[in-house]
Copies of this chain bind each other. A is one copy, B any other.
Amino acid sequence: MNTFSEENYLKAIFRLSQMPDNKKISTSAIAEALGNNPASVVDMIRKLTDKQLIEYDKKKGVKLTPQGQKDAIQIVRKHRLWEVFLLEKLEYRWDEIHDIAEELEHIKYHDLADRLEKFLGFPEYDPHGDPIPKANGKMAKSFSASLADGKVGGSYRVAAVRDTSSEFLKYLHKLQINIGTQIKIIEQIAFDHSLIISIDNGEATTVSSKFGENILIS
């Protein structure tokens, strides 16, 4: 069984390995992701390598072994299921659930994820639009096209958010954007790629390119 900390490392490595950019997973990238010092990451890389959960090659960076991948997916599964619980059953807000799930995901008990999944009615996606892995580890592909990739004049459904920070989610809340919201791109500013959009056919609003990159569409 893995410790809380080991699980957080596995999850971070998994998340990095899912990135579309396909960059190698470096010591510093992991440190950055977890807010830890690179020296600490070196310690943990050694530990997880010994446990055969990752492989490390200074050229290719860190890679999850099949077992590491399996373990990581089970944590992601629990994280996302708990998020659904917190939003739907306990009525927490969109921007609050992530932090709580960050702790709940580490609770280990036979069948816990499966029972939770059943209780929640086998949800396919978590409240941020991320797919929930099944018990067998299979999971739907994440949404990858962002609003920033959309065409001017096009109208898109918000399928997921890339950034799940509470700052971003609070901003979305303020703009009344949720999963399922329809966004039309009215104009793109050539200068800095800002977008002028209409939210659910409302009045024109301007958002940054960074904003657009963090909205995933279907």
Contacts and interface: CB of A to CB of B under 8 A. Distances in A.
Interface stretch (A21-29, A64-72, A108-116, A186-194): A108-116
Interface stretch (A5-13, A30-38, A86-94): A86-94
A100 B109 CA distance: 7
B115 A92 contact: yes
A154 B196 CA distance: 79
A112 B100 contact: yes
A103 B99 contact: no
A8 to B, nearest CB: 15
A108 B92 CA distance: 14
Interface string A97-126: 001100110011100100110010000000
Nearest to A108: B103
A99 B109 CA distance: 9
Contacts of A91: 115
Contacts of A90: 112, 115-116, 119
Number of copies: 2
Nearest to A104: B107
A89 B108 CA distance: 17
Contact of A103 (B100, B107, B115, B119): B107
Nearest to A96: B109
Contacts of A100: 107, 109, 112
A101 to B, nearest CB: 10
A104 B109 CA distance: 11
Contacts of A119: 89-90
A9 B116 CA distance: 29
Contacts of A116: 90
Interface in A183-208: none
A111 to B, nearest CB: 8
A87 to B, nearest CB: 11
10 contacts: A89-B119, A90-B112, A90-B115, A90-B119, A91-B115, A96-B109, A100-B109, A100-B112, A103-B107, A103-B109
